[in-house]
């Protein structure tokens, strides 16, 4: 674990720097005609079959907390997503995809590759699931926020809620992420990358839905999703009871 702690400490000083080392592998993603989303094999299948150990996961999460914060809150500027409140299956899938080179994330890869066994992924996800959900997150802050949120709600209810749910709580069994209460700028960036074909581990069904959306529509949908409350155990307000 000493190597993990050293990397985590370095990340605290240089959170946006990808550390030198071998490049990430490059698996065939959505650009390939043979691509199968959430294919249950290899490390993903093994990690999902493991029972996560929260205590051990606290140790493996040390390296994640450097960027995603010890609370799992991520960064409100959207640089790093909020992890607290996310489905364990989604967390495991994204870590496995990054490790195998199916999702391109040069900043996270040097850290993700240090989790050497499927059990590490299961433990880390279990610990993240034990965290309370932060009360505050990055939201759309434009003067037209009410208008954007209303427009986003209309778009969301037409096509997004079928998979992500009325309340944005996703679907654990189908690897659909919780999107309610995620940072606005992170949501916008990810949806833009999916639409534009840069998120190689994207769900093809979502790509079909999101492909026709304009930049303005993605702003509105992201504003609405960020305005929602992430389901689960919220953290206690300072000096008060749990919300």
Q: Which residue has the higher pLDDT, 88 or 11?
A: 88
Chain segment 139-191, per-residue pLDDT in tens: 999 999 999 999 999 999 999 999 999 999 999 999 999 999 999 999 999 99
Mean pLDDT of 62-81: 97
Q: What is the three-class DSSP state of 175?
A: coil
Residue 196 has pLDDT above 50, yes or no: yes
**How far is 16 from 114, CA to CA, in rounded Å?**
18
End-to-end Cα, the chain, rounded Å: 35
Chain segment 5-27, per-residue pLDDT in tens: 444 444 444 444 444 567 889 99
Mean pLDDT, all residues of the chain:
91
Exposed/middle/buried for 209, CB within 10 Å: 0-12, 13-18, 19+?
middle
Encoded tokens for 139: 């939201």
pLDDT for 240 equals 54
State the sign of the Cα–Cα–Cα–Cα dihedral 45, 53, 14, 78: positive
CB hemisphere CA count around 40 (13 angstroms) = 7
**Rg, C-alpha atoms of the chain:** 18
pLDDT for 215 equals 98
pLDDT for 22 equals 76
- Whether the model clears a pTM of 0.75, i.e. scores above it, the answer is yes
Domains belonging to the chain, first-starting first, are 2-130 (1.10.760.10), 145-227 (1.10.760.10)
Nearest to 91 by CA among 77, 71, 112, 70: 112
């Amino acid at each position: 674990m000493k190597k993990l702690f050293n990397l985590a400490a370095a990340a605290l000083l240089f959170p946006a720097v990808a550390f030198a080392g071998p490049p990430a592998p490059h698996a065939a993603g959505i650009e390939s005609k043979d691509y199968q989303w959430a294919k249950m094999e290899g490390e993903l299948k093994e990690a999902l079959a493991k029972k996560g150990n929260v205590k051990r996961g606290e140790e493996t999460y040390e390296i994640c907390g450097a960027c995603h914060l010890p609370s799992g809150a991520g960064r409100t500027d959207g640089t790093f997503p909020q992890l607290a409140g996310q489905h364990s299956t989604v967390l495991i899938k994204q870590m496995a995809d990054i490790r195998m080179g199916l999702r391109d994330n040069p900043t996270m890869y040097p850290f993700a590759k240090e989790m050497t066994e499927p059990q590490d992924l299961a433990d880390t996800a279990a610990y993240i699931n034990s965290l309370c959900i932060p009360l505050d997150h990055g939201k759309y802050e434009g003067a037209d926020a009410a208008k954007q949120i209303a427009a986003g709600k209309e778009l969301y209810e037409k096509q997004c809620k079928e998979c992500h749910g009325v309340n944005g709580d996703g679907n654990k069994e189908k690897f659909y992420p919780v999107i309610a209460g995620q940072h606005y700028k992170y949501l916008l960036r990810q949806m833009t990358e999916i639409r534009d074909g840069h998120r190689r581990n994207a769900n093809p069904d979502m790509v079909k839905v999101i492909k026709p959306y304009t930049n303005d529509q993605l702003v509105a949908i992201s504003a609405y999703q960020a305005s929602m409350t992430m389901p689960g155990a919220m953290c206690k307000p300072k000096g008060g009871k749990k919300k």
